[in-house]
Amino acid sequence: MGFFDKLKNGLKKTKDSFLGKVDTILAGFGKIDEELFDELEYILISSDFGVQTTEEILEKLKEAVKEKKLTDASQIRSELQIIISNLLDLGQKGLDLNDVPAVITIIGVNGVGKTTSIGKIANLYKTSGKNVLLAAGDTFRAAAIDQLSIWADRCGVDMIKQGEGSDPAAVLFDACRAAKARNVDVLICDTAGRLHNKKNLMDELAKMSRVVAKEMPDIKHETFLVLDSTTGQNAVNQARAFSEVANISGIILTKLDGSSKGGIIVSICNELKIPVRLVGVGEGIDDMQPFSPEDYVKALFE
Ligand SMILES: Nc1nc2c(ncn2[C@@H]2O[C@H](COP(=O)(O)OP(=O)(O)O)[C@@H](O)[C@H]2O)c(=O)[nH]1
Ligand SMILES: [Mg+2]
């Protein structure tokens, strides 16, 4: 199955619960009135578009109805599609695999899919002909280092590691040195998933950034926050919390397969103004692609 079909399959639950209800309401109403907007509001919120984004969507919808003098409820669907497309357009595309050299640090709470995503991203770069190096920066548990090394083997890329409990910044330092020596295009660094203490995390991430800035001063350093789409608005809250401690340049949204909360993509882009760079639709090595707003809207609406 191609990636678009996987995305479409993954968004099926969201589509059924969101557009299914929208279509039913529109068919039932016929004309456009305040009550129709109330129903739409309820549907958007229950599909995890978030309160703020839902209000914005409704405001824009009412403007469009007024401006275009729409009278028939059936005309609402395409307006909704246009408004959602516009909210997703932050003027920034999904991850560009040819934009190298780059150092990418992957952060996020436990279990969201950081390590798995690194494996998939490494594979994307590798298959597009790039020289990839991984850094086992989650030194909290030995199992985390082993898990990343399995992905490294699977993709046929090298990995730099130290022992359990070692300083992640020291691992990254080694990795930067190795990356320079080996002419690496992309260095991807894993991190531990704890957010128990903001100060600790902030210090740790700042230290890692300083290492990259010092060792690879001319190379773009990105920090991607991984969010699990099945957690809905909780993911948006995580993004807010991490924004306070890290300079996040993009979001990786995982587990879109089987999530009925696909609306959070819109909420994240619109409320946090952080672009979604990659989406994950499964546990396999091919189950991640740079995010395409066009494909998302198409998979949801068509
Ligand atoms: N269904 C599904 N599972 C995923 C996806 N990404 C990660 N996972 C699973 O989520 C679990 C946690 O992933 P892991 O990478 O270890 O998370 P980490 O703690 O953030 O490093 C694993 O069982 C993964 O296979 C995805 O896009 N879809
Ligand atoms: Mg991990």
Q: Which CATH class is domain 1-302?
A: alpha beta
Contacts of 24 (CB under 8 A, 6+ apart): none
How many Å lie between the centroid of ligand 2 and the Cα of residue 109? 9
112 alpha carbon, closest ligand: 1
Distances from the Cα of 130 to the Cα of 100, 176, 251, angstroms: 9, 16, 22
- CA–CA gap between residue 191 and residue 204 (Å, rounded): 10
91-110: b or e for each residue (b if 16 or more CB lie within 10 Å)? ebebbebeebbbbbbbbbbe
Q: DSSP character for 232?
A: T
In degrees rounded to 5, what are phi and psi of residue 259?
A: -95, 135
pLDDT at 195: 66
Residues lining ligand 1, CB < 6 A? 108, 110-116, 193, 226, 254-255, 257, 280-283, 287
E strands within 210-275?
220-228, 250-254
The preferred substitution site among 116, 242, 278, 281 for testing ligand 1, maximizing ligand atoms within 8 Å of CB, is: 116
What does each of the 302 residues of the chain score in pLDDT, given as a tens digit? 889 999 999 999 889 889 999 999 999 988 899 999 999 999 999 889 999 999 999 999 999 999 999 988 888 999 999 999 999 887 767 899 999 999 999 999 999 999 999 999 999 999 999 999 999 999 998 999 999 999 999 999 999 999 999 999 999 999 999 999 999 999 999 999 876 567 888 888 999 999 999 999 999 999 999 999 999 989 999 999 999 888 999 999 999 998 888 899 999 999 998 999 999 999 999 999 999 998 999 999 98
Query: Could you identify the atom of ligand 1 that is nearest to the CA of residue 119?
Result: 15
* Token output for 302: 């068509």
How many Å lie between the centroid of ligand 2 and the Cα of residue 194? 10
Ligand 1, atom 1: nearest CA belongs to which residue?
Answer: 282
- Strand partners for 226: 252
Biggest alpha carbon distance in the chain? 67
How many Å lie between the centroid of ligand 1 and the Cα of residue 71? 46
How many Å lie between the centroid of ligand 1 and the Cα of residue 111? 6
Instruction: Map out the domains of the chain as residue ranges.
Output: 1-302
pLDDT at 31: 87
Ligand 1, atom 10: nearest CA belongs to which residue?
Answer: 113
The preferred substitution site among 283, 285, 286 for testing ligand 1, maximizing ligand atoms within 8 Å of CB, is: 283
140 alpha carbon, closest ligand: 2
Ligand 1, atom 19: nearest CA belongs to which residue?
Answer: 111
- Asked if residues 211 and 203 have their Cβ atoms less than 8 Å apart, the reply is no
Ligand 1, atom 7: nearest CA belongs to which residue?
Answer: 113
pTM (predicted TM-score): 0.94
Query: Could you identify the atom of ligand 1 that is nearest to the CA of residue 281?
Result: 27
How many Å lie between the centroid of ligand 1 and the Cα of residue 151? 12
- Asked if residues 100 and 130 have their Cβ atoms less than 8 Å apart, the reply is yes
pLDDT at 244: 87
How many Å lie between the centroid of ligand 2 and the Cα of residue 49? 28
- CA–CA gap between residue 38 and residue 197 (Å, rounded): 41
